[in-house]
Structure 1
């Protein structure tokens, strides 16, 4: 009886090879042949699932974001009901910090994409949020927590969303600093907690 192939799982296995290469050597190292060799599949399979290199890079990023969301929910949701707004906001922001091997890889891959987008107009355009699109789900969630738990009470219209955007940018930036050895993870967490204390008290 022929073996049934789980196509979504196969896509993720190939994407995981992209993540591994990008995290260790940057996106320049990601060729179709290198990905096939790293994933242990044929070049034809990589082409079958992703078409060309541009699609391979973009779809692998989308799959990484899906995996990141699934992992974050698995870590946060079991205890979410017992958390106050500040604790829940902190848990969400910690998903951007390199606190374990998976989150370290995720951050390295996102940095690799960011660096490549600086000199790749096509990739930058694909990653850019189009004008008129509402803020992302994560920003809105954090903004709601800030409005709910801010020490000064509900903020002026739009202010909570700006605070949420700044918190997410901060978590990404100081997480990247720890990867470069510019600060320790303890220092990064202290900076993040300082900002949370400023907002939530």
Structure 2
């Protein structure tokens, strides 16, 4: 009997080819034919799963985002059953830093997408929505921390969350460029968290 095709696996196979090409040389000149060759599939099969080039780039990005979200959930779950709000916020922010090979590869792919974010309307919409969603998440965690007494009531959760997520994203680029060490970036994040969570210093 012919082997049954796992469509999710095939889509991931193609998405991973996009990621590898992105890490090697960016996405500006990448064609459907190049992606098909990298993935080891026909151009017709690639178009069957993703359609146009723009749809392919968006689809590969969506799979990458889903991977990142799941990895973040797994790491935060490893903090235990009752982590402090500081530990959870710290875990969210550290996902934005290329602290290991897995996260470094993911952020290199994001960097390759950056120019496309500026010029492709579909990708630009995804890029616009992501930072506010992440800042809203962190703001909600800070507000919860205030309710349980880990964060002073005079802390303004929304601007603090916007600053923390923007700072982590800026540190991401500095690490990738070799302008800042991973340890140095984590220390800067922890320094900011001390202001917001003075009564919950354990990680």
TM-score (norm 2): 0.86
Structure 2 residue aligned with 1:189: 186
1:110-163 CA-to-partner distances (Å, cap 9, x unmatched) read 122223323445542454339xxxx52x4333222212335652357xx31222
Change (3 A) 1:81 1:29: farther
Shift of 1:105: 1.2
Structure 1 stretch displaced more, 141-150 or 103-112:
141-150
Structure 2 residue aligned with 1:30: 30
Change (3 A) 1:122 1:183: same
Structure 2 residue aligned with 1:49: 49
Residues of 1 paired with 2:33 and 2:121: CA distance?
Answer: 24
Shift of 1:32: 0.9
Shift of 1:167: 1.3
Structure 1 residue aligned with 2:106: 106
Structure 1 residue aligned with 2:79: 79
Structure 1 residue aligned with 2:201: none
Structure 2 residue aligned with 1:161: 158
Runs of 4+ in 1 over 6 A off after TM superposition: none
Q: 1:146 aligns with which of 138, 142, 149?
A: 142
1:3-41 CA-to-partner distances (Å, cap 9, x unmatched) read 111111111111111111112211124221111111111
Bigger relative contact order, structure 1 or 2, given CA contacts below 8 A and separation 6+?
Answer: 2
On the 8 A contact 1:21/1:29 being kept in 2, the answer is no
Change (3 A) 1:125 1:175: closer
Structure 1 stretch displaced more, 17-26 or 79-88:
79-88
TM-score (norm 1): 0.86
1:42-98 CA-to-partner distances (Å, cap 9, x unmatched) read 111111111110100111111110011111112221324231111111111111111
Structure 2 residue aligned with 1:173: 170
List gaps (5 residues or longer) in structure 2: 199-203
